[in-house]
Amino acid sequence: MGSIYTVSQVTAYIKNMFTQDFALNRISVKGEVSNCKYHTSGHIYFTLKDGGAQIAAVMFSGQRKGLDFKLAEGQQVVVTGTVDVYERDGRYQLYARKIERAGMGDLYARFEKLKKELLEMGMFDPSYKQPIPRYALRVGIVTAPTGAAIRDIMNIAARRNPYVQLVLCPALVQGEQAAPSIVRGIEILDRMGMDVLIVGRGGGSIEDLWAFNEECVARAIFNCRTPVISAVGHETDVTIADYAADLRAPTPSAAAELAVFDYRQFEERRRQAAHRLNRLMLLALERQRSRLDQGHMRLMLCDPRRRIDEKRQLLADLEERLNRRIKEQAADCRKRLDDGRDSLMQGMSRALTGEKHRLALDAGRLEGLSPLKRLCGGYGYVTDEEGRQLRSVLRTKPGDRIRVRLADGSLKALVEETAPAKDKPAGEEGERQKAEEST
């Protein structure tokens, strides 16, 4: 029996053979890019293929300066580097140091042509995009029933919201019959009235994902009345379905995150909203209560009864002031009246004293002229029967009755004879005659 070697020894021997081969250490390979993935570390992993074979390739982040464009599915490129063995997996791969464009592959050319046609038709216009409902309760899914995509969607949906209903319409996602199957699934779920649809599959090569680059699928997504989330492949995979959909998710898992709202977050937001609402209601109630109190105070200030009471109080004050003023004026008038009365009494007393004095004087003078006083001296006052004074004998004749008033009484007499004085001036006869005429 010959020597027995370990796997590591055999792999190391093969690797050494690759290393010593001059042609493999500096080689340029032409092919079409497939399964291109940009790793978070900066490395680029892809497959280089042609019609008969394929080879795995990698460009490490340190060699990225040898790439001046974004590597994508379907591109025809020339990769310059080294073919070597990756000992852990026991497979060989192309370690790229430089990548240059060599023309587009057939699939990529078809992709770009259809993309341009649909773009010109307006199927990718943002104005046609429907908003994804924030709180979807029925989520339709068009994908393979046994793939990783449906498992990821179900797991994430169950974690985020177990109350959301998931409706799967199984579809082929790879092969010649995949595109019609996907279209049929979209149309069935659209008629069922779902809140949102997820259309997609897991990652793969451009050939594996080609069903989502067919025009019929793009038209079915565009014509769907239900909002559609496209979830095809990995983050770096871009298909026509992604452009036609209302929203593109980088992966099926991300699509589930976008379609299914987190119930716990919803409950927390609801609780916070309820708390804010209660707080705002309390603040609003407090403000309204304050306004009510202010209005009540203003109403009390404007209350007719209060104003009447104020007017009554004012009237009472005015009445009191009026009474006080009347009393003051009455007292002042009384004082002035008393002063006037005193002054009048004094004036009257002085006037009366003066008048008494004048009366006494006049009385004295009158007394001196009084016929009674003369009568007391033996004289008498003679009148005819009618009471007319007789100042001359010529006014009487014998037989006339006369009255004589003395100091202590009166007497009646009969004229027996008249004897005019002889020494009386001659004019007295005329006077007598005048007196008789006047009588």
138 and 252 housed in the same domain: yes
The edge-to-edge listing of strands for the beta sheet with 401-406 is 381-384, 401-406, 409-414
pTM, to two decimals: 0.51
Domain end among 232, 261, 290: 261
Q: How far is CA 412 from CA 125, 377, 378, 381, 388, in A?
A: 164, 20, 17, 12, 14
81 and 39 housed in the same domain: yes
Q: For residue 209, is it within any domain? A: yes
190: closest CA among 149, 154, 141, 247? 141
245 and 269 housed in the same domain: no
pLDDT the model gives residue 205: 73
Place of tokens 């104020």: 310
CB atoms within 10 A of CB 161: 20
* 210 touches 107 (CB < 8 A): yes
* 423 touches 429 (CB < 8 A): no
Which strand (E) or helix (H) includes residue 192?
A: none
User: What size, in residues, is the chain?
Assistant: 439
- The SS3 of residue 415 is coil
141 and 100 housed in the same domain: no
pLDDT the model gives residue 188: 95
Residue 77: beta bridge partners? 31, 101
3-class secondary structure per residue, 133-150: CCCCCEEEEEECCCCHHH
CB atoms within 10 A of CB 70: 10
Q: For residue 19, is it within any domain? A: yes
Domain end among 243, 261, 279: 261
Q: For residue 369, is it within any domain? A: no
Which strand (E) or helix (H) includes residue 384?
A: strand 381-384
- Residues 6 or more apart in contact with residue 94 via CB below 8 angstroms: 27, 29, 48, 55, 56, 57, 58, 79, 81, 82, 83
224 and 212 housed in the same domain: yes
CB atoms within 10 A of CB 128: 11
Q: What is the CATH number of the domain that holds 215?
A: 3.40.50.2300
Q: For residue 116, is it within any domain? A: no
Place of tokens 């492949």: 233
Which strand (E) or helix (H) includes residue 234?
A: none
N-term to C-term CA, the chain: 219
Residue 98: beta bridge partners? 80
- The SS3 of residue 84 is strand
pLDDT the model gives residue 394: 81
* Start-end of H helices in 245-262: 252-259
254 and 269 housed in the same domain: no
- The SS3 of residue 327 is helix
Report the alpha-carbon distance of residue 55 to residue 34 in Å, rounded. 10
Q: For residue 114, is it within any domain? A: no
Report the alpha-carbon distance of residue 187 to residue 176 in Å, rounded. 19
148 and 96 housed in the same domain: no
Q: For residue 354, is it within any domain? A: no
- Residues 6 or more apart in contact with residue 370 via CB below 8 angstroms: none
At 69, the amino acid letter reads: F
Place of tokens 């004589």: 404
Report the alpha-carbon distance of residue 292 to residue 300 in Å, rounded. 12
- Residues 6 or more apart in contact with residue 164 via CB below 8 angstroms: 136, 137, 138, 139, 157, 260, 261
Q: For residue 332, is it within any domain? A: no
Q: Look up residue 203 and give its two tokens.
A: 């990652």
140 and 191 housed in the same domain: yes
Domain that holds residue 137: 132-261
209: closest CA among 143, 255, 308? 143
Give me the tens of pLDDT residue by residue for the chain, a chain 439 residues long: 567 888 888 888 888 888 888 788 889 999 988 889 999 888 999 999 988 899 999 999 888 888 877 888 888 888 999 999 888 888 889 999 999 877 556 677 788 889 999 999 999 999 999 999 999 999 999 999 998 899 999 999 999 999 999 999 999 998 889 999 999 999 999 999 999 999 999 887 777 889 999 999 999 999 999 999 999 988 777 899 999 999 999 999 999 999 999 999 889 989 999 999 999 999 999 999 998 888 888 777 776 777 777 788 888 888 888 888 888 888 888 888 888 888 888 888 888 888 888 888 887 777 766 666 666 666 777 888 888 888 888 888 888 888 888 877 888 888 888 888 776 554 555 555 555 545 4
Domain end among 261, 281, 298: 261
Report the alpha-carbon distance of residue 387 to residue 98 in Å, rounded. 183
299 and 178 housed in the same domain: no
Q: Count up the domains in the chain and report the number.
A: 4
168 and 280 housed in the same domain: no
141 and 212 housed in the same domain: yes
Q: How far is CA 303 from the centre of its chain?
A: 30
Residue 76: beta bridge partners? 32, 103
pLDDT the model gives residue 374: 63
394: closest CA among 413, 418, 423? 418
pLDDT the model gives residue 431: 53
pLDDT the model gives residue 129: 93
Q: For residue 150, is it within any domain? A: yes
* 58 touches 38 (CB < 8 A): no
97 and 39 housed in the same domain: yes
pLDDT the model gives residue 228: 96
